[in-house]
Amino acid sequence: MKTYKVNVNGTEYAISIELMSEQEAAAAKSAPAAAPAQAPAAAGAGEEVKAPMQGTILSVKVKNGDAVSKGQVLFILEAMKMENEIMAANDGVITSVCVQEGAAVSNGTVLCTIQ
């Protein structure tokens, strides 16, 4: 085992690294990959409401079966320390909600569908 000093943003850390045998390295490569923490929900029928930017869902204001009207707030999305309201583009009924509070989303992620 070897110990190294690493400087990260002005803070010094001591790390220890152990050399693996070829058998240990082969076993580590063949280990099964971890399952994803959460599988995305399937989108329902209707028009998709997508995330306009990358961020975190702070609040989900609707659930499956809710009637919504154009301009109604569906989600609060935090991006770059700002809260953004995601609103319904048209009247309809929520056929699926695809994200939960606290979920990290990318630009274009389907948040829900409205029919």
Query: What CATH number does residue 83 fall under?
Result: 2.40.50.100
104 within a domain of the structure (yes/no)? yes
62 within a domain of the structure (yes/no)? yes
Tally of domains in the chain: 1
- Rounded Cα distance, 105 and 109, in Å: 6
pLDDT band at residue 20 using 50, 70 and 90 as cut-offs: confident
- Rounded Cα distance, 102 and 2, in Å: 40
pLDDT band at residue 108 using 50, 70 and 90 as cut-offs: very high
Residue 31 is predicted with a pLDDT of 53
59 within a domain of the structure (yes/no)? yes
26 within a domain of the structure (yes/no)? no
Residue 39 is predicted with a pLDDT of 43
- What does the pLDDT look like over 34-87, one tens digit per residue? 544 444 455 667 899 999 999 999 999 999 999 999 999 999 999 988 999 999
Token output for 110 = 């389907």
- Rounded Cα distance, 13 and 7, in Å: 6
State which residues form the domain around 102.
Answer: 47-114
